[in-house]
Amino acid sequence: MVEDFEGFKRPIINSSLCVECGLCEKACHVISPYPDRRPIEIYAARAKNDTIRFAASSGGIFPLLGANTISDGGIVWGVRWDRNNRIPRAIHDYANTMQGLKEFRGSKYVQSQVNNIYKTVKSQLNEGQNVLFSGTPCQISGLKHFLKKDYPNLTCCEVICHGVPSPKVLNDYIATLLPQNSPDHEYQIKEVTFRNKLHKEGGWRNGVVVVVVVVVDKHNGTEKEYVVSDRRADTDPYLRGFLCELINRPSCHNCTVRNLKSGADITLGDFWKIQKYVPQIDDDMGVSLVCINTEKGQRLYNEIKPQLSDSVAVNWDAAVDSTGALVESPKAHRRRSRFFKDFSKNGFQEKSIIKMLRPTTKQIINKYIRIFKAKVRPYIKK
């Protein structure tokens, strides 16, 4: 795997070592994707325990699935922050304790490092351990293709993926927030929360990006924590770049594993249009869209149902209307190439994000045309 200038890792075949066996092509989910399918059941759901739900990105369903697996003696794979460096990185890891499971809470809007974990998962499965593996659709599909067979003790849970931003862009952004070390103090990022619901300006729909730094006194070893950034998603430059498809991986704009092609047993995401379909359970603190794709996934979901305050059946059209990324790849921002060209020369600059995301004259005109039409339409009907 080689990192390109945008910060994404890509597989490179060493032609001098290749024996043309074709195994890499057989294991590639892009070349050999699974077929489209539809869920067995679809739900709008939220956890009964508000502490769990408020700490989660949406309705708190995955923490319940994970806790149920660990309580039964199983293992849960998810994404946590590796804090061994000044700037943390998102890595896939496993947990077999409730404390370890907490590390997987919350969305990490960046491409996580998978490295060689599929071999570890296979070993755990062959040992007879029950495994719940969570990840993006491509990570799930990659695991399933690597394993080459269905394991009855493996349950896969995918997140509805909008796309993954560049780890290099995130690292550079966080570096702009991190004070420089001094002879007396050492600074390190303690936590990055992309959607803090409990912030005074937050909530589920307007989550706040919170970055916490810990400063260590080099003389006596004491530590203090403080917030270096807390901005809403619509003003945080990194989140804006992510949501506008400016900093995301190119292959995400032509994803081959949407439409439930990953082979996952359960699909989880945000039920963004809950007000339209099940308004009575919307309190702006998170509702999950849950697609049950297999009988295995159905069994696990049924086991956590007593811990849900709501589990309302909805149809496929409502799911797609609520979360378009379930079936369609978003288009790359028209200035994406320009941004990364500038980024490779100058690193992360907030002014560059603002400039690249500035609307064109045509977009501004169209916006005001839509506003004008919306205002005059009621009078035309009369």
Q: Using one digit for the tens of pLDDT, what is the confidence trace for 324-360?
A: 999 999 999 999 999 999 999 999 998 888 888 887 6
Whether 236 maps to a domain, the answer reads no
Give the pLDDT confidence of 260-274 residue by residue, as tens digits. Answer: 999 999 999 999 999
Whether 374 maps to a domain, the answer reads no
Whether 235 maps to a domain, the answer reads no
Whether 81 maps to a domain, the answer reads yes
> Looking at per-residue confidence, does 35 or 380 come out higher?
35
- Mean pLDDT value across residues 98-111: 93
- Mean pLDDT value across residues 76-96: 92
Give the pLDDT confidence of 200-244 residue by residue, as tens digits. Answer: 877 888 888 888 888 887 778 888 888 888 888 888 999 999 999
Whether 181 maps to a domain, the answer reads no
> Looking at per-residue confidence, does 360 or 63 come out higher?
63
Can you say how many angstroms the Cα of residue 104 is from the centroid of all Cα atoms in its chain?
Answer: 11
Whether 277 maps to a domain, the answer reads yes
Pairing state of beta strands 2-3 and 154-159?
unpaired
What percentage of the chain reaches a pLDDT higher than 90?
60
- Mean pLDDT value across residues 37-58: 94
Whether 354 maps to a domain, the answer reads no
Show the domain range for 104: 2-164+248-326
- Mean pLDDT value across residues 91-100: 96
Whether 106 maps to a domain, the answer reads yes
- Mean pLDDT value across residues 179-197: 86
Mean pLDDT, all residues of the chain: 90
- Mean pLDDT value across residues 362-382: 69
Count the domains in the chain: 1
Give the pLDDT confidence of 271-288 residue by residue, as tens digits. Answer: 999 999 999 999 999 999
pLDDT at 382 over 60: no
pLDDT at 115 over 90: no
> Looking at per-residue confidence, does 30 or 134 come out higher?
134
